[in-house]
Amino acid sequence: MGNRLEGKVAIVTGGGSGIGEAVCKKFAQEGAKVIVAGFPEDPVEEVAQEIQEEGGTATPYTGDLSVLANAKSCVQLAVKQYGKLDILVNNAGTFPETNMLTDFTEEAFDYLLKNNIRSAFAMSKAALPELQKTKGNIVSAGSESGALGLAQNAPYGGTKGFMHAFAKGLAAEQAQKGVRSNIVAPGPIDTGWTHKETGPMDSQMEQMVTKGTLMGRRGTPEEVANVYLFLASDEASYVTGAIFPVDGGTLIAKGPAGDQAAESMKAQPDGKLKLKHSKESHTSIRSQDK
Ligand SMILES: NC(=O)c1ccc[n+]([C@@H]2O[C@H](COP(=O)([O-])OP(=O)(O)OC[C@H]3O[C@@H](n4cnc5c(N)ncnc54)[C@H](O)[C@@H]3O)[C@@H](O)[C@H]2O)c1
């Protein structure tokens, strides 16, 4: 256990699976009290319980966070349970479909807008009054695709481009209220999304995204959580409006650069967190979430 977030209270949206689970567990290990927030079907209760079993402090919240009333009750839970809110991590997101735009369904497009954009809007709006009191900060999930676009998933990249500009806009306006806002922009991460068995990518896309990194591999959820930790902590006190790539060099890779990566870079680090839900992403559209 460290103390880089000692005394801090954090909400992590999409905290039940993938990168969100790692962020919750990392923050709790560093002393934060964590609200693990996600859809009712997500393993948020399990993650909160696993944190408690490791000696950390966490409470689950379930609800569709794109609904402003739910976002408000999630923030109220943090305040009721732990007395304040210091950190909001806007990590919730969805990846329902890969398709050329001519075939991209309207349903998947609307689903992306709701979960990738509206949830960040609702949660930030609900959390800001509390964050202003604590001089806290927001760290949101962007993506390398928010800068570069993503073939066969142009709408998804578009939602992440929105997040980059949204987070910068918040940084610009909230500095006068003492609140920082930054972005973590992952490349392909080892969650349910980037495996053909658990997400909409086919094997060709899977290969393309990993070869397109300088390191020839997916990043681990923990490697992403490490950067969330830095940005959320007081160590990043002079960092706002920044976009931090955690993408194994995807932004500067040309062609299948990963083929040339050193073996040492191609090997995923073991990490220290006990992650159990990395691949439990829901990538299809669930009717109750519409
Ligand atoms: N996995 C990657 O390769 C990758 C790359 C770049 C960016 N990202 C971003 O990182 C974030 C996490 O991705 P992941 O791979 O861990 O996916 P994931 O599916 O494992 O986690 C996302 C979680 O958010 C939850 N969620 C979505 N919409 C919600 C809502 N409206 N209300 C409550 N919960 C909601 C989902 O149910 C899920 O548990 C996303 O924002 C994603 O865009 C991921």
Sheet containing 137-141: give its strands across: 57-62, 33-38, 9-13, 87-90, 137-141, 180-186, 243-246
Q: Which domains, ranges and CATH numbers included, belong to the chain?
A: 9-189+219-249 (3.40.50.720)
* Averaged pLDDT for residues 193-218: 93
Give the distance (Å) from ligand 1 centre to CA of residue 153: 15
Give the residue, by CA position, lying nearest to ligand 1 atom 19: 281
Expressed in angstroms and rounded, the spacing between residue 79 Cα and the centre of ligand 1 is: 24
Token pair belonging to 224? 């992403």
* Residue 129 CB neighbour total at 10 angstroms: 12
Q: Angle 88-176-33 (CA atoms, 0-180°, nearest 5)? A: 20
Atom of ligand 1 nearest to the CA of 65: 32
The ligand 1 atom at the shortest distance from the C-alpha of residue 142 is 7
State the amino acid at position 183 in one-letter form. Answer: I
**Predicted pLDDT at 282:** 79
Is the Cα torsion angle 145, 148, 151, 154 positive or negative in sign?
positive
pLDDT band at 57 (very low <50, low <70, confident <90, very high): very high
**Contact (Cβ atoms closer than 8 angstroms) between residue 178 and residue 237:** no
Q: How far apart are CA 228 and CA 27, in angstroms?
A: 9
Share of the chain above pLDDT 70, in %: 99
Whose C-alpha lies nearest to ligand 1, atom 17? 18
**Span 236-262, mean pLDDT?**
96
Taking the centre of ligand 1 as the mean of its atom positions, its distance from the CA of residue 17, in whole angstroms, is 8
Taking residues 72-92, report their average pLDDT. Answer: 98
Yes or no: say if 75 and 37 are a contact pair by the CB < 8 Å rule: no
What local confidence, expressed as pLDDT, does residue 173 receive? 98
Average pLDDT for the chain: 96
pLDDT at position 289: 58
Average pLDDT over residues 258-272: 95
Residue entry with tokens 């009717």:
287
Q: Hey, whose CA ends up nearest to atom 16 of ligand 1?
A: 18
**Interatomic CA distance for residues 156 and 149, integer angstroms:** 8
Distance, CA 176 to ligand 1 centroid (Å)?
Answer: 30
The percentage of residues in the chain with a pLDDT greater than 90, rounded to a whole number, is 95
> Is 108 a residue whose pLDDT tops 60?
yes
Ligand 1 probe mutation, 75, 95, 164, most atoms within 8 A of CB: 95
Ligand 1: which atom is nearest the Cα of residue 289? 31
The residue whose CB lies within 8 Å of the most ligand 1 atoms, and thus the one to mutate among 124, 222, 281, 289, is 281
Q: Using one digit for the tens of pLDDT, what is the confidence trace for 112-146? A: 999 999 999 999 999 999 999 999 999 999 999 99
- And the tokens for 229? 């930790």
Mutate to test the pocket of ligand 1, among 11, 13, 19, 65 (most ligand atoms within 8 A of CB): 19
Beta-bridge mates of residue 183: 140, 243
Identify the pLDDT of residue 1.
81
pTM, rounded to two decimals: 0.97
Please give all residues whose beta carbon lies within 6 A of any atom in ligand 1, as ranges.
13-14, 16-20, 38-39, 42, 64-66, 91-94, 115, 119, 141, 143, 186, 188-189, 191-194, 281-282
In whole angstroms, give the CA distance from residue 222 to residue 107: 32
Q: For ligand 1, what atom is nearest to the CA of residue 119?
A: 31
Ramachandran area for residue 40 (φ above 0: left; ψ -120 to 50: alpha; else beta): alpha
For residue range 4-45, list pLDDT tens digits in order.
999 999 999 999 999 999 999 999 999 999 999 999 999 999
The CA 141 to ligand 1 mean position distance, Å, reads 8
Q: What's the average model confidence in pLDDT over 184-207?
A: 94
pLDDT grade for 224, boundaries at 50, 70 and 90: very high
Could you list the active site residues?
156
Distance 92 CA to ligand 1 centre (A): 4
Summarize the confidence of residues 84-92 as an average pLDDT: 99
